[in-house]
Chain A
Amino acid sequence: MLFTELVFWAFFAVVAVLYVVLPHRAQNRMLLVASYVFYGAWDWRFLSLILLSTAVDYVVGLRMHTAPQGVQRRRLLGISLAVNLGMLGVFKYFGFFVESFQSLLGTVGYVADPFVLSIVLPVGISFYTFQTLSYTIDIYRRDMAPTRDFFDFALFVAFFPQLVAGPIERARTLLPNITQPRQLSWDNLRRGAVLCLFGLIKKVVIADGIAPSVDAVYASPDPARLDVILATWLFAIQIYCDFSGYTDIARGVAKMLGFGLMRNFAQPYFATNPQEFWRRWHISLSTWLRDYLYVSLGGNRGGAGRTYRNLMLTMTLGGLWHGAAWNFILWGLYQGGALALHRTLTGRHAHRGEGGRRSAGHWIGQVLKIALFFQVVCYGWLLFRATSFAQIVDFTQRIFSGPAGITLPSPPFAVFPALLLLLVWDVLVERSGDVAFYAKWPTVIRAGLYAGMIYLLAFGATTQTSAFIYFQF
């Protein structure tokens, strides 16, 4: 059941009607059932993994809270880590490590017996395991108390809008939203609907419109130089619109139900350096990695050498989180390297956030920096999108010395006005620092904007739709 399919919106309509008529506790139970139905639409069998993770972390959380000694608490945390990371290891990484080990043995002359186990990757497993881990780690750190209501906790793990592709919520913020009665408001309904509409435009019109052009070049055995460059630029736009489009719809749906999910993207391509990029891109993952991995490794306490080691480790594991393939590890190393290099060259910089008032000259300089740093990001996307190490080498060579000409299929016309809308929208959010900047506009102008957006969605929704890229992670 995809957000881009009518069946999802029919499902949501039923959920919304029941939600409105039910009292708070019953709302939560109904949302839990709906979340399991939503997930079960992919594969009912894998609900058992969610239930296992839920049960283990619920019990671990309660026991840990009452356990007085550090050893017992550590042991309980170990159980939570073993179960959640064990599930990830088996379902996501087992095949990859076996194959890599066999290849390694092959290079030194041993021929290992082929051992191939075909394991289906349960959709969203990386997202919900990280979400439940944040719960047990926060209790371990005494940052929060566990919830006693099993069903509320189960809803925290499986809440359908963000179950399969995030944002990876923290228990500290989402659980209170579940346990406390929520206010349904017309304002939330309006803002949620606008988020859904904008998310659908990003996904259906832009990402799905661009996808065939990118796919054609990345499947081509002999692309031209410009093909590789343009396809990689387009992939940067595709993955942003695909993933942030999903997040917008997830946040919009949740908002209409009275939940506040965190922002996952803050105009990432306006970043001028790697540090800023990771404050703007996939924020729920980057802050998770920072809080639970980088800090646990020691963060920047312990000298420059340890800081760089921790940075590289965090980003490499962050790369591996995306998938069991060498190109994701390489991408993580590349991002870690970029962060380390930036830190070496500039030290720690003050955060350049949204909404600052700056001069025109400042903005021209910024645009140049943004354009330059975008190329650095794009090379990372080439590593990310490539289908093999050989393709990474080949495409890198082609960027500098590939044949002339261009064979990249042109995206549909609707992509271009949608891209213009996205650019203007992101610039306005960046300048105002307000994601709901349009709410201050006169009613007629706003209604005109919404009508135009609906028309644009219909205009561009004629291309082939595909699953969200981040579902595979």
Chain B
Amino acid sequence: MKRTATILCLTLGLLALLDFGVGQVLGWAERSGRLGSLVQYFEYGRSVPGKLARWQDRPGTPGNLMDVAWRPEMIARSAVEFEAEAPTTQPVIRGYGMSFVNNILQSAATQDPGLILDLHSGPAAPPNFTYALFEEDRDNRRAGDVAVLGILSSSVPAMGALSNSTWMFEQPAPFTYPVYYLEENGLRRVEPLVSSQDSFHALRLDPATRAAWQDQLKSEDHFHALATFGVPSLDASPFVRLARRSLATSHVQSTQQDILRSGAYPYGEVLRRMVVTFAQTARSDRQRPVIFLIQTRDATDADLLEILKPVLEAQDIPYLATVEHFDPRDPSGFLGDGHYKPQIDQRFARAFVDLITP
């Protein structure tokens, strides 16, 4: 027993020493701007409040996503730009999506320089974000425009989330969006308590609202968990950060599987109602609706075409399904970060141009 206790104590002591040493090296590397990817690797494991606090304190930090994709600010900018457009402007392609949609539309604009683009996007934006953005930007489109709604397969489980901060653990952009629930024949929209950049920054000085926001995340967001949000003070230890990253990744994955497999959130029916309402809204405003179904390379993602093709065909809603033009199981079509390579985007862009060309 004595020998075992000695080894156990020594092991824990050396582990603590190792952890302290790693912490020192990371601190030095960060100060001197070296070992960037290693520093980043350990940073990924910081708690969500810890990451957000660092972003708020250091606005210049590379990869800071604090101020991206806040809807009220985006809509306000959109309104200003719309005001600036000449009333005689020819039909504009108004995109509501994410980088995948932007890449395809920009590629289309390269192929057909006559296309005018107006892009609204958020990082890894889930359908509830893109759909809400489309709804809120209604006054900033005119008759004849093409409205593109992007649906990204890997973000479908996040339809049960109120913010990227709860399900994108490694890059928890705090922007928010509503969650949609089925209600009779339509959808009920549950708004996040924090919806704008200003209201988010104000949380620091308003403990009551901060607590209310945390309560809403706990009750309404399928992804919110102690593993990702709890005990930020432990972030001081690189070892704990590694362990947290493992727990958090595992938690997010299992929640995604719960949503996709056991129906913890009725994403399929919500998506079907979203695309139908999207098309009805666009058509009633004399705009042309187009749905982008972006299938990413993860084979466990929701199969967007299988879920939506029947309703898209029944309602005669034009769509571009990437899976019909490139097999996402083929890794040769992807960049290291998971985006499609430019030549594959060109293929999608050609299909899009064909789709909107009378």
Contacts and interface: CB of A to CB of B under 8 A. Distances in A.
Contacts of A189: 4
Nearest to B240: A458
Interface in A384-437: 405, 407-409, 413
A223 B331 CA distance: 8
B295 to A, nearest CB: 13
Contacts of B34: none
A448 B14 contact: yes
Given A452-B18, A455-B18, A462-B242, A407 B41 contact: no
B89 interface: no
Nearest to A405: B332
A347 interface: no
Given A459-B242, A462-B246, A221 B10 contact: no
Given A190-B4, A455-B18, A459-B242, A221 B11 contact: no
Given A220-B332, A458-B239, A447 B246 contact: no
Interface string B254-286: 000000000000000000000000000000000
Given A189-B4, A452-B18, A462 B249 contact: yes
B90 interface: no
B7 A413 contact: no
Contacts of B15: 451, 454-455
Contacts of B245: 462
B331 A221 contact: no
B253 A221 contact: no
B243 A458 contact: yes
Nearest to B247: A6
Contact of A462 (B14, B18, B22, B45): B45
B14 A447 contact: yes
A239 B22 CA distance: 32
B330 interface: yes
A219 interface: yes
A465 interface: yes
A208 to B, nearest CB: 11
Interface string A211-237: 000011101111110010000000000
A186 B1 contact: yes
Nearest to A410: B336
Nearest to A446: B7
A461 interface: yes
A454 to B, nearest CB: 6
Contacts of B19: 455
Nearest to B7: A447
Contacts of B14: 447-448, 451
A94 interface: no
A359 interface: no
A450 B11 contact: yes
Contact of B11 (A6, A216, A454, A464): A454
Interface core residue of A215, A216, A217, A224 (most chain B CB under 10 Å) = A216
Interface in B293-349: 297, 299, 327, 329-332, 336
Contact of A451 (B4, B18, B299): B18
B250 interface: yes
B328 to A, nearest CB: 9
Interface core residue of A190, A413, A459, A464 (most chain B CB under 10 Å) = A459
22 contacts: A6-B247, A186-B1, A215-B299, A219-B299, A219-B329, A220-B331, A222-B330, A222-B332, A223-B331, A227-B331, A405-B332, A407-B332, A408-B331, A443-B10, A447-B7, A450-B7, A451-B18, A454-B11, A454-B15, A455-B18, A461-B243, A464-B249
Given A455-B239, A461-B243, A462-B45, 9 more contacts: A221-B329, A227-B331, A409-B331, A409-B336, A451-B18, A455-B18, A455-B22, A458-B239, A461-B242
